[in-house]
Amino acid sequence: MKDFKNKVVAITGAGSGMGRAYAVEFGKLGAKLALNDYNEKGLTETVELLQSQGINHIYSKAFDVSDKDEMFSFAKEVKNHLGNTHIIINNAGISGKGDPFFIGETEDFDRVLEINLYGVIYGCRAFLPQIVENNEGAVVNVASIFGLIGVPGVSAYCTTKFAVKGFTESLMVEFHKSPIGIHCVMPGGIDTAIADNSPNADEFKKTLKTPAEDVAKYLIKCIRKKKPNVLIGFNSGKFNLVSRFMPLKMRIKFAWNMMSKMGVLWQYESFNSLMKK
């Protein structure tokens, strides 16, 4: 797909960060935008930002992507308001609390799965029929470089991002003979609000260096070229190489050292003392 004018682009998690950047960049190219976020305030800010730039073909709805019925209603409403969807970007995601798995809460773990994994699957289920009916367009699922290498403190996040990568790769194979592009975005450290609620936000934020706008622009290039993997952002090249060529034992050390430097291992003292008992 090369031209986005009057094409319908649905984006989840569009109230902040990369979701907002996708909306702005597709909006500039004349796309009609269907926007979601569960943060109503953020979503309204995105809509106002777009309108201030003269982008007015917008349908927006605040809901939680882990609610299957809401996702299916959204898809129907988008079709009624804007027409059949051409591109779904399943972007909404949370990072989780940063607990070591052993001392984290099951409910917190499950919440990350519901949003980051089931939100993506429901988005595909709800919007693919419209994209297939158009016989052109794209499915974009957002994973992470933490879907390439397992890292400590974010086991739920890694579980979902590895799963999104696997799920999306399966779709890539299923659709490879069709005109529909299937893409997996694997961002490195992108300058967004993702770390705002983590207990070690200041340290974490030091690794979020790449502007969200760069990711949106690169995604558009990848959709045009039907390039399936969208690997971009701080540390993404390094993580990709390590995941492909470094043996597991070395990868474990690499991941531990990397996360220590990011300051996300703040809880491990209590974890280690627990192990000694």
Positions that interact with ligand NAD (CB under 6 A):
12-13, 15-19, 36-39, 42, 64-66, 91-94, 115, 119, 142, 144, 187, 189-190, 192-194, 208
157 noted as active-site residue: yes
Least separation, in Å, of the C-beta of 24 and ligand NAD? 13
- Six-digit token pair at 244? 């492909």
> Residue 137 forms beta bridges with which residues?
180
Least separation, in Å, of the C-beta of 93 and ligand NAD? 2
* Letter string b/e over residues 231-244, b meaning 16 or more CB atoms within 10 A of that residue's CB: bbbbbbeebbebbe
Is there a contact between 55 and 34 (Cβ–Cβ < 8 Å)?
no
* Closer Cβ to ligand NAD, 176 or 206, answer by number: 206
H/E segment holding residue 210: strand 210-211
Least separation, in Å, of the C-beta of 277 and ligand NAD? 34
Q: Which of 59, 118, 157, 268 is catalytic?
A: 157
Distance, CA of 96 to CA of 90 (rounded, Å): 18
* Closer Cβ to ligand NAD, 117 or 134, answer by number: 117
Q: If you count them, how many residues does the chain have?
A: 277
* Closer Cβ to ligand NAD, 159 or 192, answer by number: 192
Least separation, in Å, of the C-beta of 107 and ligand NAD? 15
Distance, CA of 277 to CA of 61 (rounded, Å): 50
Hey, which residues are catalytic here? 157
